[in-house]
Amino acid sequence: MLTPRMLTPIVAGLMLGMASLGLHAHGSKEHGPRQAVVKEQTGWGIAGDAEQVSRSLEVVMTDDMRFTPAAVKVSEGETLRIVVRNAGQMMHELVIGDSEALAEHAEMMVRFPNMEHDEPYMAHVPPGETAEIIWTFNRAGEFEFACLLPGHYQAGMIAKVVVESPRLASREHERSQSVQ
Ligand SMILES: [Cu+2]
């Protein structure tokens, strides 16, 4: 027969087991490797791998709310290692997107300034620090790098990113040749 005295260690053991399970689940979620991020196709590309990188691009962020360079050209399919350097005294971030998605996101950031967000196409960089984004631009079109911190986007902290389709570029070349 089970007496309350015998039951206590069983219950305590069960609770301890549950607690450690909970801790484990929490720990693996919070500290899991970044590579474990599910690669999701967006309208402006997809997360890339270090092995695919075709070139590095340094982008500098400054407190005058500017990205340098302010315009970037990429070939469709290229994987870039974007080295994002914050040369300012305040926090900045680089978020890749199309103008519509970024404008929407910027508005959310104004309404909820403490909103936490982290996606493979963004880097939050404290003053004096550098972060990296490895991104495959597998969609041709016009995109942007933007800092969505409240006030920054509104002050024009946006760089232009043009992803050119090689097929389209050669077709245009042919057309200009035939005109001559
Ligand atoms: Cu900023």
Q: Is residue 164 part of a domain?
A: yes
pLDDT in tens, 138-170: 999 999 999 999 999 999 999 999 999 977 666
Ligand 1 centroid to residue 28 C-alpha, Å = 31
Long-range contact pairs involving 68-73 (C-beta distance under 8 Å, separation at least 24): 69/159, 70/159, 70/160, 71/159, 71/160, 71/161, 71/162, 72/145, 72/159, 72/160, 72/161, 72/162, 73/162, 73/164
State which residues form the domain around 75: 47-170
Ligand 1 centroid to residue 143 C-alpha, Å = 18
Q: Is residue 163 part of a domain?
A: yes
pLDDT in tens, 60-83: 999 999 999 999 999 999 999 999
Q: Is residue 19 part of a domain?
A: no
Q: Is residue 71 part of a domain?
A: yes
pLDDT in tens, 50-63: 999 999 999 999 99
Q: Is residue 160 part of a domain?
A: yes
Count the domains in the chain: 1
Calpha distance 135→161 (Å, rounded): 13
pTM: 0.74
Question: Which band of pLDDT confidence, cut at 50, 70 and 90, is reported for residue 172?
Answer: low
Q: Is residue 11 part of a domain?
A: no
Q: Which residues surround ligand 1, an ion (CB under 5 A)?
A: 92, 147, 149, 152, 157
Ligand 1 centroid to residue 136 C-alpha, Å = 23
* Mean pLDDT score of the chain: 83
Q: Is residue 41 part of a domain?
A: no
Q: Is residue 179 part of a domain?
A: no
pLDDT in tens, 98-142: 999 999 999 999 999 888 888 999 999 999 999 999 999 999 999
Given this model, what pLDDT does residue 171 score? 66
Question: Which band of pLDDT confidence, cut at 50, 70 and 90, is reported for residue 36?
Answer: low
What's the rounded mean pLDDT across residues 74-97?
Answer: 98
- Residue 165 is part of a domain; what is its CATH number? 2.60.40.420
How many other CB atoms sit within 10 Å of the CB of residue 96?
A: 25
Ligand 1 centroid to residue 71 C-alpha, Å = 17
